[in-house]
């Protein structure tokens, strides 16, 4: 399978190009970025060629799959163009910046007979997969409450353009702040693990510390807290932060009728299950993927997408399964505006 990558920043380097390079069924055809030097740099590291425009890449008949790794505001436009050009697409999260765009992306994939995947890597980590298995098997009993967080020091040190000028701080390019940059991972994860749809969500967001170069506060949130109720009664919180100036918090606790699951909370065991009688099962499965260069582990996203296309099987990254998580993101924006919980 031949692949093209659109957007040659941090996630394209650290995950997409790197993991395509490790997959024996894939050949990298090339790269496009509107900053041409970035595409050239990727070619020098990963092979393939530089495509001068998106259209040049999409008209290359040899390309089967395109990764969309650009700023959030352009996900929908580029994804839809690629699907219409007959390509399968792996688009980064958050899927798009309006609900209508999300629906149009899924509809276009279906109309064109192509596959569309969203890069929700958290569904694939070994400890999260084990937690899903334990919940689905019924062993843990009903999920009662949960608390999940994704907090780090902010995107200024992550994206390819470092510092306060990052597009992550601009509403026109990012649309959302930490709530959807980080929170979409956890909203989607908890929805996936609980295995039910969200009934209502209440969200508070604020700008505590991040500023533009001129010292004015950024126009997307740098911290958020969400209270989520599922239709089956489970409820709990999602916390996101771009102002955790020391380490990273990427943890989840799920309290079930038959015990407590702690995910990525213990330094040694990525899943710790404590039963009502006090007995403990420790699972040493993996370390959480982080945004620091040194610890970026293989996510499994690329292998999942490639195998799903080649075998024709459904994937847990299929875009239609992500729509419910994006609905919750848009409901958070409405909740913030109205100061009320939003029914979904």
* Of 33 and 304, CB closest to ligand NAD: 33
Shortest Cβ 256–ligand NAD spacing (Å) = 27
Report in angstroms how near the CB of residue 179 gets to ligand NAD at its nearest.
12
Indicate the residue whose CB is closest to ligand NAD: 9
Residue 170: CB minimum distance to ligand NAD, A: 11
Q: How many CB atoms lie within 10 A of CB 98?
A: 12
Give the residue with the Cβ less far from ligand NAD, 143 or 221: 221
Residue among 185, 228, 223, 146 at smallest CA distance from 322: 185
**CB of 64 or CB of 92, closer to ligand NAD:** 92
Give Cα separations from 191 to 19, 133, 194, 232 (angstroms).
26, 14, 5, 11
Which residue, 38 or 210, has its beta carbon nearer to ligand NAD?
38
Q: Give bridge partners of residue 261 from the DSSP assignment.
A: 254, 273
Closer by beta carbon to ligand NAD, 99 or else 167: 167
Question: Whole-angstrom Cα distance, residue 138 to residue 303?
Answer: 28
Q: Which residues contact 109 (CB under 8 A, 6 or more apart)?
A: 83, 89, 115, 116, 319
Closest CA to 262 of 126, 127, 125, 123: 127
Nearer to ligand NAD, 24 or 294 (CB): 294
Residue 101: φ, ψ to 5°: -60, -40
Sign of CA dihedral 260, 253, 339, 341: negative
CB 146 within 8 A of CB 119: no
Min dist. Cβ of residue 251 to ligand NAD (A) = 16
Considering beta carbons, is residue 164 or 229 the nearer one to ligand NAD?
Answer: 164
**Cβ at position 9, least distance to ligand NAD in Å:** 2
- Closest approach, Cβ 200 to ligand NAD, in A, equals 26
| Nearest residue (CB) to ligand NAD, 35 versus 208 | 35
Kindly state the smallest distance separating residue 12's Cβ from ligand NAD, in Å: 6
Minimum Å distance from CB 274 to ligand NAD?
29
Q: Say if residues 29 and 110 touch (Cβ distance below 8 Å).
A: no
Summarize as ranges the residues that interact with ligand NAD (CB under 6 A): 6-12, 33-35, 38, 69-72, 74, 92-93, 119, 121, 158-161, 167, 181
Rounded CA gap, 281 and 61, in Å?
A: 51
Q: Which residues, 6 or more positions from 54, have their beta carbon under 8 angstroms from its beta carbon? A: 6, 32, 78, 81
Longest CA span, the chain: 63
């Amino acid at each position: 399978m031949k692949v093209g990558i659109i957007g040659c920043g941090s996630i394209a380097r650290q995950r997409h190009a790197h993991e395509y390079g490790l997959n024996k069924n894939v050949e990298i055809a090339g790269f496009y970025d509107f900053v041409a030097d970035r595409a050239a740099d990727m070619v020098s590291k990963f092979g393939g060629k530089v495509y001068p425009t998106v259209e040049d890449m999409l008209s290359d008949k040899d390309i089967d799959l395109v990764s969309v790794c650009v700023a959030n505001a352009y996900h929908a436009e580029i994804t839809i163009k690629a699907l219409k050009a007959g390509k399968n697409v792996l688009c980064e999260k958050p899927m798009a910046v309006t609900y209508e765009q999300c629906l149009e992306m899924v509809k276009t994939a279906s109309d064109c007979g192509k596959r569309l995947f969203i890069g929700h890597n958290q569904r694939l980590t070994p400890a999260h997969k084990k937690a899903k298995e334990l919940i689905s098997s019924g062993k843990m009993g009903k999920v009662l409450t949960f608390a999940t967080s994704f907090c780090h020091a902010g995107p200024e040190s992550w994206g390819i353009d470092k510092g306060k000028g990052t597009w992550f701080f601009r509403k026109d390019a990012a649309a959302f702040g930490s709530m959807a940059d980080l929170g979409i991972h956890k909203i989607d994860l908890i929805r996936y693990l609980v295995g039910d749809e969200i009934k209502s969500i209440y969200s508070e967001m604020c700008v505590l510390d991040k500023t533009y170069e001129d010292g004015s506060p950024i126009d997307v949130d740098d911290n958020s807290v969400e209270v989520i109720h599922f239709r089956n009664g489970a409820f709990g919180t999602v916390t996101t932060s771009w102002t955790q100036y020391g380490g990273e918090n990427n943890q989840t606790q799920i309290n079930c009728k038959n015990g407590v699951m702690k995910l990525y909370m213990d330094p040694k065991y990525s899943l710790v299950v404590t039963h009502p009688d006090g007995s403990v099962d420790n699972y040493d499965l993996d370390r959480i993927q982080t945004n620091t260069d040194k610890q970026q582990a293989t996510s499994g996203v690329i292998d999942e997408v490639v195998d799903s296309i080649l075998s024709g099987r459904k994937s847990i990254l299929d875009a239609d399964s992500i729509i419910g998580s994006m609905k919750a993101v848009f409901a958070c924006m409405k909740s913030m505006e109205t100061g009320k919980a939003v029914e979904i």
